[in-house]
Amino acid sequence: MKWKFQTFFNALLVGLFILLFWCSWTSLAQSSSTPSTTTPPDTKLNRFLNFFTQGHDSPPVDPVDVTPQWIEKLAVDFPFLKYQWLGNELWKYMASLVYIILAFYTSKFLDHLTRVWLRKWAEKTETKFDDLILDLLNGPVKVVSFVVFLHIGLSVFRWPTVVENILAKCFTIVVASTLTYMLVKFVELALGYWRQRASTDADRTFDEQLFPIIRKSLKVFIVVVAVLVTCQNLGINVTAAITSLSIGGLAIGLAAQDTLANLFGAIAVFVDKPFRIGDTIRIDQVEGNVESIGMRSTRVRNAKGFLITIPNKTVGNATITNITGRPTIQTEMNIGLTYDTPTEKVRQALRIIEEVYRSNPMTKDLVVNFNRFADSALNINVVHFWGSSDNKAYLAGMQEMNLALKERFDKEGINFALPTQTLMLKQDSDGRMLERQSSNEVMALPGSGPTGPPAPQV
């Protein structure tokens, strides 16, 4: 990129000098003994550049007024400087040469300033924003400074109207091209910086698909707008072109409505980052792990192993639950003890539950309380918070804690309760059944201990 821009700058320099001498010969052919009263055309570029030399509130003046006063004084003190050559006085060539030399060395100085001095200063800072600005200014600032001073230098001469119009259009094209180059370069640098900060290994495939489309689309948009604005400043009617582009864009938009909706959905996923590849999500009735994010659709594999393809248009408008994004996994369970359990044993059971679950380093928080007398058990409510979103580690950890809890209950002779039903039958003296009653009672499991707590509900 640096070599290409240097080549462009050198070619521009040679072309402008050739244009200068060609205009001088043209001016000689059309010059007369009477000073010309031609003023430069009132173009936007001339008004913009005259802001630096005459002030924006001043009316247009003859371009000879931009000549440095010390050169005009030399022309008075040394009459030979008023000698005319190629239709212009020698002091005008001297003034123009001063501005051309100033343009050349100013551009070189600014280029060295951005590439060397400011670069050393930017490397000492932690932020990358200053590096981005220097990469953007490196090159275009040289062309802009050169064109501004060269325009002032050429304004010293009295050019014919045709030549003046050609010069004005050439400078307009050069400035517009430089500004367009700066905008395109800014888009590329900004997107590269954004991609470097936002992308991860899991999102790299998606970024490689999306970034080229965004980059090329923005570049095409900038170039098209720059061409239209430049043509407008050059006096070319672009109304018909804008109308054609509007009609064509409307037709393409209607024909590719679903495709564009999916594309914008992919961009929304990229910008908002509601999930990443590998996350467990829930979209409407679909729940599973995200396997890929494409330009048209997002693929999710559910718990049964089926691969489900969801259009990005649906993803962009749906309510998304990122299960992986939860900071902890909450588990609530109810552990029932038999009604014949002594009060001291109930207190001991509470202490055992606290010790077992809090002994695990992944326990973020724990709430244990004897909250109610259930129909068939003394109910102990346990709310456990696992300090990670890794589901496999969570299941393995809960299994170890539940096994440890059962082992402690077996050792202390604390029995878990089961819902049971007892049938009571009554008979008369003749052996006939008179009444049947049923009641629920707690029945301890046989053996020295319980079978374990109910399965936790997450």
pLDDT in tens, 53-84: 444 444 444 444 445 555 555 555 556 656 66
The amino acid present at 166, given as its one-letter code, is I
Q: How confident is the prediction for the chain on average, in pLDDT? A: 72
Positive or negative torsion for Cα 158, 162, 164, 166 = negative
* 253 C-beta neighbours (distance < 10 Å), count: 11
Nearest to 289 by CA among 299, 300, 298: 300
Model confidence at 188: pLDDT above 70:
yes
Q: Which residue is listed with tokens 């003394």?
A: 378
Model confidence at 50: pLDDT above 80:
no
Using a 10 angstrom Cβ sphere, with 0-12 exposed, 13-18 middle and 19 or more buried, the burial of residue 409 is buried
Q: What is the pLDDT of residue 34?
A: 42
Q: What is the pLDDT of residue 261?
A: 80
Nearest to 419 by CA among 438, 441, 439: 441
For range 2-17, the mean pLDDT: 55
For range 104-114, the mean pLDDT: 75
Give the C-alpha separation, 36 to 137, whole Å: 40
Give the C-alpha separation, 204 to 219, whole Å: 22
Residue 346 contacts residue 337 (beta carbons within 8 Å): yes
Q: How far is CA 127 from CA 186, 190, 297, in A?
A: 17, 14, 36
- More reliable by pLDDT, 454 or 225: 225
Domain boundaries, the chain: 67-263, 275-322, 329-412
pLDDT in tens, 262-316: 778 887 887 778 888 888 889 888 889 888 887 788 899 988 889 999 988 888 8
451: left (phi over 0), alpha (psi -120 to 50) or beta: alpha
Kindly indicate the confidence band of residue 447, based on its pLDDT and cuts at 50, 70 and 90. very low
Q: What is the pLDDT of residue 81?
A: 58
| High-pLDDT (> 90) share of the chain, % | 16
Give the C-alpha separation, 96 to 78, whole Å: 18
Kindly indicate the confidence band of residue 205, based on its pLDDT and cuts at 50, 70 and 90. low
Q: What is the pLDDT of residue 449?
A: 42
Which residue(s) pair with 329 in the sheet?
Answer: 386
Model confidence at 221: pLDDT above 80:
yes
Q: What is the pLDDT of residue 12?
A: 55
Give the C-alpha separation, 410 to 352, whole Å: 12
Q: Matching CATH topology for 275-322 and 329-412? A: no
For range 81-96, the mean pLDDT: 64
- More reliable by pLDDT, 332 or 90: 332
- More reliable by pLDDT, 269 or 96: 269
Model confidence at 32: pLDDT above 50:
no
Q: What is the pLDDT of residue 141?
A: 73
* 351 C-beta neighbours (distance < 10 Å), count: 11
- More reliable by pLDDT, 408 or 284: 408
Least confident of 3-7, 58-62, 98-102, 198-202: 58-62
CATH topology classification for 329-412: Alpha-Beta Plaits (3.30.70)
Q: How far is CA 291 from CA 48, 267, 281, 306, in A?
A: 55, 18, 11, 12
Q: At what angle do helices 140-154 and 161-198 cross, to 10 degrees?
A: 170
pTM, two decimal places: 0.46
For range 415-423, the mean pLDDT: 77
Q: What is the pLDDT of residue 380?
A: 94
- More reliable by pLDDT, 292 or 135: 292
Output the furthest CA–CA distance in the chain (Å, rounded). 156
Q: Tell me which long-range contacts 230-236 makes (C-beta under 8 A, separation of at least 24).
A: 230/172, 230/173, 230/176, 233/43, 233/44, 233/45, 233/172, 233/176, 234/169, 234/172, 234/173
CATH number of 275-322: 2.30.30.60
For range 117-134, the mean pLDDT: 70
* 313 C-beta neighbours (distance < 10 Å), count: 21
Kindly indicate the confidence band of residue 129, based on its pLDDT and cuts at 50, 70 and 90. low
Nearest to 34 by CA among 86, 87, 113: 87
- More reliable by pLDDT, 115 or 431: 115
Burial 421-441 (b: 16+ CB within 10 A, else e): eeeeeeeeeeeeeeeeeeeee
